[in-house]
Homo-oligomer: A and B are copies of this chain.
């Protein structure tokens, strides 16, 4: 089996790679509460504006951020739609895992009941 990413996979992959960085999560938390200018965001951390700008680019490309220009400033804001793919991925993982747990329990019950037809359908 190969890695054959469908459209949703690519979107989820970008979101996960972007969120895997602590600094980017911190940035996202900032602009989740308020729309902020790039300079304000950079001032909130002890790194250069360059680094913050690169993080903003990554977040923007992952669809987790929207950019709005106002004069010479750029204002950023979190984009909740960018999290939907990841949310679905989590929900699917959760459901599958719980299903496994349920089947394991029923399998044990089946063993003690000596009833091989007892399976979750």
Tell me whether B29 and A93 are in contact (CB under 8 A): yes
Tell me whether A86 and B97 are in contact (CB under 8 A): no
Bound-state Cα–Cα, A2 to B101, Å: 40
Bound-state Cα–Cα, A97 to B45, Å: 21
Bound-state Cα–Cα, A35 to B79, Å: 37
Q: State the main secondary structure of chain A at its contact with B.
A: helix
Tell me whether A80 and B97 are in contact (CB under 8 A): yes
Tell me whether B44 and A1 are in contact (CB under 8 A): yes
Question: A1-44 CB contact bits vs B (8 Å, 1 = yes)?
Answer: 11101000100010011011011011011001111000000001
List A residues at the B interface (Cβ < 8 Å).
1-3, 5, 9, 13, 16-17, 19-20, 22-23, 25-26, 28-29, 32-35, 44-46, 77-80, 83, 86-87, 89-90, 93-94, 96-101, 104
